[in-house]
Structure 1
Amino acid sequence: MLDFAQASPTETAEVIETTVDAEAGTVQVRPKLGRLNATALLAKRLPTIEHIVPGYIQPGLSIVAGKPKTGKSWLSLGLAVAVATGGPALGNVPVKQGSVLYLALEDNERRLQQRLRQILQEQEVALDGLYFETECPRLDAGGAEAIREWVDATEDARMVIVDVFTKIRPERSSSETGYESDYRALMPLKQLADETSIAVVVVHHTRKMAAEDPFETVSGTNGITGAADTILILDRGGQGTTLYARGRDIEEIETALLFDKQSGAWSAQGPAAEVRRSDERQAILAALAEGASPMSPTELSIKLDVPNANVRQLLQRMLSSGEVSKRGRGLYVLNEEGDGEVVIEE
Structure 2
Amino acid sequence: MGKPLPAYAARAAKPSAAKPQAANQNSPQSAAIDAETLLGMEFAPVDYVVEGYVAEGLTILAGRPKLGKSWMALGFCIAVATGGQTLGVDCEEGDVLYLALEDNRRRLKDRLNVVLSPAQVRPNMARLSLKTEAKKLGAGLIEEIEEWRSKAANPKLIVIDTLSMVRPPKKANQDSYAADYDAISPLQKYAGEHRLAVIVVHHVRKAEAEDPLEAVSGTNGLTGAADTIMVLNRTTDGPKLYGRGRDIEEIEKALRFDKGTWEVLGNAEDVKQSEQRRKIVDVLTDATRALTPDEVAKEAGMKVTNVNYLLRVLVKAGGVEKVGYGQYKIQGR
TM-score by length of 1: 0.83
**Residue aligned with 1:139, SS:** coil
Q: Is the 8 A contact 1:85 1:125 kept in 2?
A: yes
Q: Which residue of 2 aligns with 1:43?
A: 40
1:296–1:57: structure 2 CA closer, same or farther, 3 Å change rule? same
Q: Which residue of 1 aligns with 2:99?
A: 103
* 1:185 paired residue among 165, 172, 183: 183
Query: Deviations for 1:201-228, whole angstroms, at most 9, x for unmatched residues?
Result: 0011111111211111110000010000
Q: Partner amino acid for 1:113?
A: K
Q: How does 1:171-210 map to 2 (within 5 A)?
A: 171-210=169-208
Q: How does 1:139-218 map to 2 (within 5 A)?
A: 139-218=137-216
Q: Is the 8 A contact 1:138 1:169 kept in 2?
A: yes
Query: Deviations for 1:13-49, whole angstroms, at most 9, x for unmatched residues?
Result: xxxxxxxxxxxxxxxxxxx955521111111222111
Q: Is the 8 A contact 1:148 1:192 kept in 2?
A: no
**Residue aligned with 2:297, SS:** helix
**Unaligned ranges ≥5, structure 1:** 1-31, 338-346
1:290 Cα shift? Answer: 3.0
**Residue aligned with 1:241, SS:** strand
Q: Which moved more, 1:290-299 or 1:170-179?
A: 290-299
**Residue aligned with 1:141, SS:** coil
1:190 Cα shift? Answer: 1.2
Q: Which residue of 2 aligns with 1:301?
A: 297
Q: 2: CA distance between counterparts of 1:150 and 1:302? A: 59
* 2:328 paired residue among 332, 336, 339: 332
Q: Which residue of 2 aligns with 1:228?
A: 226
Q: 2: CA distance between counterparts of 1:333 and 1:44? A: 63
**Residue aligned with 1:275, SS:** helix
Q: Which residue of 1 aligns with 2:283?
A: 287
Query: Deviations for 1:320-342, whole angstroms, at most 9, x for unmatched residues?
Result: 222112344333222226xxxxx
Q: 2: CA distance between counterparts of 1:246 and 1:196? A: 22
Q: 2: CA distance between counterparts of 1:134 and 1:305? A: 46
**Residue aligned with 1:52, SS:** strand
Q: Which moved more, 1:144-153 or 1:53-62?
A: 144-153
- Identity of paired residues, percent? 43
1:162 Cα shift? Answer: 0.8
1:306 Cα shift? Answer: 2.8
Q: 2: CA distance between counterparts of 1:302 and 1:83? A: 47
**Does residue 116 of structure 1 match 2:120?**
no
Q: Is the 8 A contact 1:103 1:136 kept in 2?
A: yes
Q: Is the 8 A contact 2:158 2:197 kept in 1?
A: yes
Aligned residues: 303
**Residue aligned with 1:107, SS:** coil
1:79–1:305: structure 2 CA closer, same or farther, 3 Å change rule? farther
Q: Partner amino acid for 2:91?
A: V
Q: 2: CA distance between counterparts of 1:296 and 1:106? A: 54
1:300–1:69: structure 2 CA closer, same or farther, 3 Å change rule? farther
Rg larger for: 1
Q: Partner amino acid for 2:206?
A: K
Q: 2: CA distance between counterparts of 1:156 and 1:135? A: 23
**Does residue 271 of structure 1 match 2:272?**
no
* 2:241 paired residue among 240, 243, 258: 243
TM-score by length of 2: 0.86
**Residue aligned with 2:86, SS:** coil
